[in-house]
Amino acid sequence: MRSVASARTEFFCVCANASAFGRAGRASAGRPRRCVETNVRVRVVVNRIVECPFSATIEFAAEELERSPEVQVSPLESAGESVRLASSVVEDATDAVRKHDALAFAWRARHRGLFPDLHGTLTVRPSVRGSELTLAGQYTPPFGAAGKLFDTIAGHAIARRTLDRFLGHVAQRVESRWQQEPVGA
């Protein structure tokens, strides 16, 4: 299997508490309040080729995620965090040429303070060797400004590696399932 990972970072700033700004947006001493970036969304995209026909790949991936509502995710084999996983088949809005399904998913870590929740989409495209899976996910780094700084330094690489390993697991299960299918199915 070939894996290509890329990270795209998009920032969405939301004021911490809009109602705290008062009518004029001033602090009690007459000084303007500062907007604090608390909701920074980071986008991570990873790709993987699987040896399974395009027509069966999203179905097999959906069944695999449905079968495993709690999984271990980690950038390393020896460590991991247990996450609850939810997924549903949706229309693939990223392909304007042809209509087919995608898989929307979300996970919530058991230790929510340390690990961010993740929301994403798994899409499939035909490939010469089978199908190309693309997993695009978004998360908000925990711990406010300190978390944003950590994410800039190392967190996004950890997230990218974690998603790549997760997608590798899904790809492996899809290929295994395809190999088990009877010929002519």
10-residue block means of pLDDT along the chain (185 residues)? 38 30 36 45 92 92 89 82 91 87 92 84 92 94 88 91 93 94 61
Q: Say if 30 falls within a structural domain.
A: no
Q: Say if 167 falls within a structural domain.
A: yes
Q: Give the model's pLDDT for residue 37.
A: 42
Using DSSP's 3-state secondary structure scheme, residue 29 falls into: coil
CATH code of residue 129: 3.30.530
Q: Say if 32 falls within a structural domain.
A: no
Query: What gap in Å lies between CA 26 and CA 28, rounded to an integer?
Result: 7
Neighbours of 162 (CB within 10 A): 23
Q: Say if 77 falls within a structural domain.
A: yes
Q: Say if 79 falls within a structural domain.
A: yes
Query: What gap in Å lies between CA 58 and CA 148, rounded to an integer?
Result: 33
Q: Give the model's pLDDT for residue 105.
A: 93
Count the domains in the chain.
Answer: 1
User: Residue 174 sits in which domain range?
Assistant: 3-14+42-180
Neighbours of 1 (CB within 10 A): 14
Asked whether the beta carbons of 120 and 136 are under 8 A apart, the reply is yes
Q: Say if 126 falls within a structural domain.
A: yes
Q: Say if 94 falls within a structural domain.
A: yes
Q: Give the model's pLDDT for residue 96.
A: 84
Q: Within its chain, how far is the Cα of 134 from the centroid?
A: 10
Q: Say if 68 falls within a structural domain.
A: yes
pTM for the predicted model, two decimal places: 0.74
